[in-house]
Amino acid sequence: METDLIIVREYCQKSHVDPSFIVSLEEDGLIDIREVDGERYLLESQLRDLERFVRWHEDLSVNIEGIGVIHELMGRLHEMQHELDQLRREVRVFRSNHFGYWEE
């Protein structure tokens, strides 16, 4: 079996997560479950997001819909931060090309 797959049943047992929570995340498109020979698997690459979703749900009592909204907003925030960083680099280049130095 591929090493980048985690058995959902085992993850739920070890993490004390209700399997129905995992199913709800999948139904809302927040995670992707693969089925191989009747066994359901999580992609290892999704583990970080899954653990974040579990914390939001258990520690903050955020429902599945709220998790989806927060996840989307955090993605947008990340994109905006990346764009801001890019614009800052471009301004530095512009100033250094036009003024010969950069003042901060």
Average pLDDT rounded to a whole number, residues 75-90: 97
In this prediction, residue 103 has a pLDDT band, given cuts at 50, 70 and 90, of: low
DSSP state, 44?
Answer: G
- Could you tell me the pTM of the whole model? 0.80
- The pLDDT of residue 101 is above 70: no
Structural domains of the chain, ranges and CATH numbers in brackets: 5-97 (1.10.1660)
Contact criterion met (CB below 8 Å) for 102 and 95: yes
Burial of 91-101, coded b for 16+ CB within 10 Å and e otherwise, reads: eeeeeeeeeee
Give all strands (DSSP E) within the chain, no chain letters: 5-7, 33-36, 39-43
In this prediction, residue 1 has a pLDDT band, given cuts at 50, 70 and 90, of: very low
